[in-house]
Structure 1
Amino acid sequence: MNTRTKLALAAAVMSTALAGCATTGGGYYGGQPEQYPSQERDVNRTQRGALIGAAVGAVAGLLSGDDATERRQRALVGAGVGGLAGGAIGNYQDRQERALRERMQGTGVEVVRQGDNITLNMPSNITFGFDESRLQPQFYPVLDNVAATLNEYSQTIVEVAGHTDSQGTDQYNQALSERRAATVAGYLSGKGVMHDRMITIGAGESRPIASNDTEAGRAANRRVEITLVPLRS
C-alpha cells in the first residue's frame, strides 16, 4: 500500500472517529458548548485527540500530506536532486534506517519504520525543557548525528513535526509545537541539511500517542517527530 493510499485510509478513519465523538450525552458538542461544563469539554477534547492520533498513526508520523510533499519534491528536482524508483527506494531506506538505528542507540530517540517512511520520535525530556522551545545543549550531539545521516542520505524529504500534551489552551499548544519544529529544522539547516528538503508543521495537542491523563503519558506526547520520505523519480 503506497503513502497516498495510506493517507486516504487514515483520513477516512479520522472522519469516522470525529463523527462518532461529535455527540455526547444526546447533545451536539461544539454547536452549543455552553450546555457542557468545562471538565466535560476537556474530557471530550482528550478523547477526540486520542482518536485522531490513532487515525494518523497509520502513516508513520507524516502529517503534512501529499500536496506539501509534492511541492518539496518539485523543488528538489528543480535543484538537481535525483529521485529514486522501484526497488531502489526500499534498499535506500533500509540502509538509512540501519545508519539511524546505530547512531540513535542509547540516545532515547525511537526509530520507527513503516513502509518506505522512517520516523524519529524525539521526546521533549531529551530535546526541550518544560514549556520551552530552546534545544537542550546535551541534545546537540544527537541532532548532529541526525544531520550527518540526512546529509549522507540526501534523497529524502524531511518533515519535522512538533507535538504537545493537552495542558494549556489549544492556541498556546499549537504555537509551542510550531516553535519546537522550527527550532529543530533550523538546527538541522545549520548543519548543512538543505532547506528545500524540509517541511515544518505544528500538530499541537491533536496527535497524542499516549493518554494525557497521566504524567508519563503527557511526557510521551510532548515530542518532535522527524519523518523521512523517499524522493521518487
Structure 2
Amino acid sequence: MFTSRRLLVVATVVALLSGCANQNPYDASSQGQASNESGGMSKTAKYGGLGALAGALAGAAIDHNNRGKGALIGAVVGGAGAAGYGYYADQQEKKLRESMANTGVEVQRQGDQIKLIMPGNITFATNSDAISSSFYTPLNNLANSLKQFNQNAIEIVGYTDSTGSRQLNMDLSQRRAQSVANYLTSQGVSSANLSVRGAGPDNPIASNADVNGRAQNRRVEVNLRAIPGQQYGQPGAQAPQQNNQFQGNPYSQYQ
C-alpha cells in the first residue's frame, strides 16, 4: 500500500512539473508563448502533463523491481515527447492564423489537430477541379508554412454539396483534393506524409437546402496531425524524403 501511494505521488509530481514547467524546446529565449486555453493552461503544458503522467504509469508497469524509478523515467520521457508536439502545434497554429488572415480560410484547432477550412467561394468554380485565381494566395501561404513546419501528417479532403449524383460528387471531391495536393507539392511540399480523399456530400457543415449552405459545404479541408513516432524538433528541420509522385512545377507562374 505504501509503495502504491509513493508511486502515485512520484508520478503525479513529475507529471505536473513536466507539464507546467516545461521549457520551450525550440527557442530558449521564448517564455510561455504557447497559446492559452480557457483554463489558463497552454496546450504545451496540457500535453506535457498528460504525457508525463501516462509515461509514469507505463514506466512503473515496465519496471516491476523499482516502480518509483520506472515511474520517474517514464514521466520524463513521456512528458518531453508530448509537450514537444504540443509546442510545435502551438507555433504552427500561430503562424497559420497570421498567414491566412483575410484570405477567407478558417483555421481551427481541435485538440492535437489543426484544421484549415477552405470555402467553395475561393477554391473552385462549379463542377470544376481547376484551382481558382483567388485560391493561389492561401495555397502559397499554406505551402510556405508546410515547408517550415514539415513534420506533419497532411490529409487533404474534398467536399461537395448534395446537388447531383453521389458518384459525380465523390469523383469531383477526389479530383479537387488531388488538385490541391498537386499544387502544394509543386511548390516544394513533401508528399511523404501527404494523403488525399474525396468525401463528396458527406459531413456537411451547413444545410444543403439553401444557396449559402451549399456554398459552405463545397469546401476543401486540410488536416494537420502529428506523425506517429515522430520526434519533434526545430520547425524547418528536414523530414525524411521519399520519392515524390508529383513531378515538375506546372504552377510556377503563380509563385
Normalised-by-shorter TM-score class = 0.5 to 0.7
Unaligned stretches of 5+ residues in structure 2: 1-79, 230-255
Q: Deviations over 1:102-122 (max 9, x none)?
A: 000000000010001000000
SS of residue paired to 2:192:
helix
SS of residue paired to 2:114:
strand
- Output the TM-score relative to the length of structure 1: 0.63
**d(CA) in 2 for partners of 1:126, 1:93:** 26
How far 1:86 sits from its partner (Å)?
Answer: 1.4
How far 1:142 sits from its partner (Å)?
Answer: 1.4
How far 1:101 sits from its partner (Å)?
Answer: 0.2
- Output the TM-score relative to the length of structure 2: 0.58
Aligned counterpart, 1:41: none
SS of residue paired to 1:159:
strand
Aligned counterpart, 2:167: 171
Q: Which amino acid aligns with 2:203?
A: R
Name the structure where helix makes up a greater proportion of residues. Answer: 1
Q: Deviations over 1:105-163 (max 9, x none)?
A: 00000001000100000011101111111001232121011000011001101000000
Q: Which amino acid aligns with 2:148?
A: E
Aligned counterpart, 1:221: 217
Aligned counterpart, 1:212: 208
The aligned runs of 1:1-233 (5 Å cut-off) are: 85-233=81-229
Percent identity, please.
Answer: 46
The structure, 1 or 2, with the larger RCO (C-alpha pairs under 8 Å, 6+ apart) is 1
**d(CA) in 1 for partners of 2:91, 2:108:** 14
Q: Tell me if the contact between 1:162 and 1:223 (Cα under 8 Å) persists in the aligned partners.
A: yes
How far 1:191 sits from its partner (Å)?
Answer: 0.7
Q: Which amino acid aligns with 1:164?
A: T
SS of residue paired to 1:181:
helix
**d(CA) in 2 for partners of 1:169, 1:232:** 37
Q: Tell me if the contact between 1:85 and 1:232 (Cα under 8 Å) persists in the aligned partners.
A: no
Q: Deviations over 1:173-194 (max 9, x none)?
A: 0000000000000000001111
Aligned counterpart, 2:246: none
How far 1:231 sits from its partner (Å)?
Answer: 1.8
Q: Deviations over 1:37-69 (max 9, x none)?
A: xxxxxxxxxxxxxxxxxxxxxxxxxxxxxxxxx
**d(CA) in 2 for partners of 1:168, 1:108:** 26
SS of residue paired to 1:85:
helix
Unaligned stretches of 5+ residues in structure 1: 1-83
How far 1:85 sits from its partner (Å)?
Answer: 2.4
Q: Deviations over 1:74-99 (max 9, x none)?
A: xxxxxxxxxx9211111000000000
**d(CA) in 2 for partners of 1:208, 1:171:** 16
Q: Which amino acid aligns with 1:212?
A: N
Q: Tell me if the contact between 1:158 and 1:198 (Cα under 8 Å) persists in the aligned partners.
A: yes
**d(CA) in 2 for partners of 1:220, 1:214:** 10
